[in-house]
Amino acid sequence: MLRGRGVSPGVVSAPVVLLGEPLVEPDGAVTVGPADRAAEVSAIEWAAVAVADRLRRRTDAASGESRAILDASRLLASDPELVAEATALVQAKGRTAPRAVWEVGSAHARQLAALGGRMAERVADVLDVRDRIIAEILDVDLPGVPERDEPFVLVARDLAPADTAALDGGNCVALVTEDGGPTSHTAIIARSLGLPAVVAAAGATGIPADSVVLVDGDQGTIEVEPSAEVVEAARAASAVIAFDGCGALADGEVLPLLANVGGAADAETAAAARAEGVGLFRTEFCFLDRGDAPSVDEQVAAYRAVLGPFAGRRVVVRTLDAGSDKPLPFTDPQPEENPALGVRGLRLARRSPQLLDDQLRALAAAARQESAHVEVMAPMVATVAEARGFVERCRSAGLERVGVMIETPSAALLAAELFAVVDFVSIGTNDLVQYTMAADRLLGELGDLNDPWQPAVLRLIHAVGQAGRAAGKPVGVCGEAAGDPALAPVLVGCGVTSLSMSSRGLGRVAAALAAVTHEDCRRAAEAACSASGAEEARAAARRVLANPENPLY
């Protein structure tokens, strides 16, 4: 039995297929004479174009998170700086085309790794693009996701975004990686595709190929050569549960269950899954892959496509959450030593106030043209002054329901004061955990710290919930924690009034809540918050909620 971090729910059993080994480093001792250097330069240029075109085709066939992540890789392949630097190595030092690309790509990856934080998340992306260009130059197959006629579990050290997105429609039924974290590209795409996934599983690549494994994306375990009885029991416990469109507790208390969406395709999927609304509409898709900001009219059309499927229902829109690992050329990004703590989210308005004002105008226009109940919230808020300024800008644009995200410990501690100026808050648990525990959320080695069950995090959520109750205003959760059926009752007991998650998680969370009363939730939250560690918090909640009719406990 191997243990890691479950990042996408579900249980499957299938033979293991190991991801192919990476390309061999091109020989640095080989040099090219002056007469042949132009041909090497041409090879680099054409290979970069070919890789970018291939990634563009994959991007066009993808949707939602997969599309955005693939497009970011395509931009890397199209980066003129990479081609220019590799060309310079060929011309000045006689490097071969493959060796020049290898050196430049490796140098860029080292620079990102040195920056740390969320910029370091892009290292795998850069190395993937580097290897793709080299494979194109050498006219060889790039080791990646294999094709199989039978279902298989893909095991790897880590996966590049393009490889993960390429799993859509194939016979891969689960993912296991030794590296990565709960919000890595592998985790995000696995959830969007509905593939059970476990990351940060030490020793996973040592599992022999073709061994049958049982992957539990809920518990974060991989059992090698399980018995037929164990497989059957695990599958029965993880059976997909349809959502009837009404979240409620056993005592009849209504608890809206909403969906997280990143574009029109996600919105259609969420509406078909009977989500009661949208608790997190990520608007970044409008701004990526551009040299300048989208016009107000372009944004209006994009927002209407998401609002349309939710006529008469609540849609909470998060304004642009760029910066850090998602820099935009038209915001004049500057290198930052600690990008996760830098100019991101609402802080972009310090540099580009017109960018925020145009987005608010577009959202107001889209809301007028559709019948969804639009609410707007700002990411990365740390002070009451920031919240007050955001509310004023929203109201000036014609948006009435305005809130903020609770992602920083300071915002959680100031919740009572924030409620004096905003209409609602939504807790982004991914970042709240990262900042509270001072642990990079993508670093698998720190997965035990980067856990929403940490009592310090639960106590902050409880403080926000109590402030919301005192103010009589809603408190949502839209981070990955909202889709954890074991944690959902604890969040409700902390004072959370709605949960927003991937559409695929709605049924299981609804079933978990339907088995408990509000008093059960309150007692479970009290027990978990009083614990001394994450595992103790899980066990404490489990003891309170033990119920033979609820398989989660």
Just list the catalytic residues.
Answer: 185, 478
Show the tokens assigned to 237.
């416990």
Residue 426 bridge partners (DSSP): 405, 476
Element (H, E) at 282: strand 277-282
Residue 478: exposure state from Cβ atoms within 10 A (0-12, 13-18, ≥19): buried
Four-residue CA torsion sign, 391, 396, 397, 399: positive
CA-based nearest residue to 202, from 155, 161, 144, 153: 155
Q: CA 372 to CA 314: how far, in whole Å?
A: 6
Q: CA 380 to CA 164: how far, in whole Å?
A: 28
Residue 24: CB partners within 8 Å, gap ≥ 6? Answer: none
Angle between helices 37-61 and 123-138 (to 10 degrees): 120
Q: CA 436 to CA 456: how far, in whole Å?
A: 7
Show the tokens assigned to 433.
């955990």
> Which amino acid is located at 181 in the chain?
G
Residue 476 bridge partners (DSSP): 426, 498
Residue with tokens 């059992």, as numbered in its chain: 223
**Edge-to-edge strand ranges of the sheet holding 197-199:** 2-3, 221-224, 212-216, 11-18, 152-156, 172-177, 197-199, 5-8
CA-based nearest residue to 426, from 345, 533, 340, 511: 345
3 state SS of 264: helix
3, 69, 302, 374, 496 from 311: Cα distances, Å: 43, 29, 16, 10, 25
The runs of H, that is alpha helices, within 280-328 are: 296-307
Residue 94: exposure state from Cβ atoms within 10 A (0-12, 13-18, ≥19): middle
Q: CA 136 to CA 141: how far, in whole Å?
A: 8
CA-based nearest residue to 542, from 495, 506, 489, 491: 489
Residue 453: CB partners within 8 Å, gap ≥ 6? Answer: 487, 528, 534, 535, 537, 538
